[in-house]
């Protein structure tokens, strides 16, 4: 009903405009007066209709009932859903989104326990990851499983704390935040690439994926944040002490975690196994673990002065 009334209203309006334009063309003001004196609703709706189907705030009833705008809305939404499908399909090829979801399946208890282990790994007894039919259990159910939540949050917090540290020393400017962020990101990427390269060269048969390595490399941000905060609150000696403690903790954590993944069964249990292969793997584990404190110091020493 509204539809037909509006339709007929439009046609009448159109005719009226044509007539008006042919008659009143030399006199613009009269044209304006005429049309504004007439029914303002459909006229405004007609004008807006010409402007585009996405007009809003119309006083009229003609927006959604017009077939043109219906068509346009339907077309636009189908285009949008097509676009989204294409993006999803192509994105899934490069970044495995379903696998990423596993790494973010954490809860508060897990995060609390994991942070505790990262800072004090000496009491933790069982470092093995539980499996469930070949798939590692989600981090929510197993403290030893790697996750990406803590590294991501740690990275962001590190940038914020770095900005805070620079601000307390009157060295802050907004570009420095970006510099810190990209610098830390580049070091992280280089470290992961270096570990991947060395794992390839030593031909270790392991089920460590790239994302696992990213997670392990991201755990050091926790220690860095603790060090910087201690340095800000209590001065340089506190910074050095807490950084030393966190470096030792990360070293032990990495060795105990990687030992199970990289070394063969016998060597992982602590027995001395001869052979160059195991020696090489041991060296690899030690160097990966030793790189963590170096990075921790490198990325934080310029923040505490």
Nearer to other proteins, 38 or 181 (CB): 181
Q: How far is the CB of 99 from other proteins (least distance, A)?
A: 24
CB nearer to other proteins: pick between 22 and 203 = 203
CB atoms within 10 A of CB 148: 20
Min CB(298)–other proteins separation in Å: 8
Nearer to other proteins, 46 or 295 (CB): 295
Burial zone of 169 (CB within 10 Å; 0-12 exposed, 13-18 middle, 19+ buried): exposed
Identify the sign of the CA torsion 148, 150, 151, 153: positive
Q: How far apart are CA 77 and CA 100, in angstroms?
A: 29
Is-contact 102 138, C-beta < 8 A?
A: yes
Q: What single-letter DSSP state applies at residue 59?
A: S
- Cβ proximity to other proteins, 39 vs 280, nearer residue: 280
Provide, rounded to whole angstroms, the least separation between the CB of residue 179 and other proteins.
5
Measuring CA to CA, how many Å separate 303 from each of 94, 176, 292?
36, 12, 18
Q: Provide, rounded to whole angstroms, the least separation between the CB of residue 181 and other proteins.
A: 10
Q: Which is nearer to other proteins, 114 or 281 (CB)?
A: 281
Asked if 68 contacts 51 with a C-beta cutoff of 8 angstroms, the reply is: no
Name the site residues for other proteins (rule: CB under 8 A).
179, 182-183, 185-187, 189-190, 200-203, 277, 280
Contacts with 254 (C-beta within 8 Å, 6 or more apart), sequence order: 216, 285, 288, 289, 292
Which tokens sit at 86? 């294409």
Kindly state the smallest distance separating residue 162's Cβ from other proteins, in Å: 13
Residue 277 Cβ, how far from other proteins at the closest point, in Å?
A: 5
Nearer to other proteins by C-beta: 234 or 298? 298
């Amino acid at each position: 009903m509204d539809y037909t009334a509006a339709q007929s209203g439009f046609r009448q309006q159109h005719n009226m405009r044509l007539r008006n334009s042919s008659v009143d063309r030399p006199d613009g003001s009269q044209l304006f007066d005429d049309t504004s004196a007439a029914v303002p609703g459909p006229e405004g709706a007609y004008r807006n209709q010409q402007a585009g189907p996405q007009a809003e705030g119309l006083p009229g009833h003609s927006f959604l009932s017009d077939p043109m705008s219906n068509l346009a809305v339907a077309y636009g939404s189908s285009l949008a859903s097509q676009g989204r499908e294409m993006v999803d399909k192509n994105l899934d090829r490069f970044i495995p989104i379903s696998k990423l979801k596993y790494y973010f399946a954490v809860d508060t208890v897990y995060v609390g326990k994991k942070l505790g282990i990262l800072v004090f790994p000496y009491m933790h007894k069982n470092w093995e990851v539980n499996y469930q039919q070949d798939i590692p259990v989600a981090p929510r159910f197993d403290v030893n499983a790697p996750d990406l939540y803590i590294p991501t949050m740690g990275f962001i917090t590190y940038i914020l704390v770095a900005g805070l540290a620079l601000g307390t020393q009157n060295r802050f400017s907004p570009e420095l935040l970006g510099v810190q962020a990209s610098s830390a990101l580049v070091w992280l990427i280089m470290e992961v690439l270096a570990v991947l390269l060395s794992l390839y060269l030593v031909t270790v048969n392991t089920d460590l994926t790239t994302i696992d390595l990213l997670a392990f490399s991201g755990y050091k941000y926790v220690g860095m944040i603790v060090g910087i905060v201690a340095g800000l609150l209590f001065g340089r000696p506190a910074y050095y002490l807490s950084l030393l403690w966190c470096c030792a903790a990360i070293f032990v954590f990495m060795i105990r975690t990687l030992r199970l993944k990289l070394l063969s069964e016998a060597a992982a249990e602590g027995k001395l196994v001869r052979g160059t292969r195991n020696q090489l793997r041991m060296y690899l584990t030690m160097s990966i673990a030793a790189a963590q404190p170096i990075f921790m110091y490198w990325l934080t020493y310029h923040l505490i002065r």
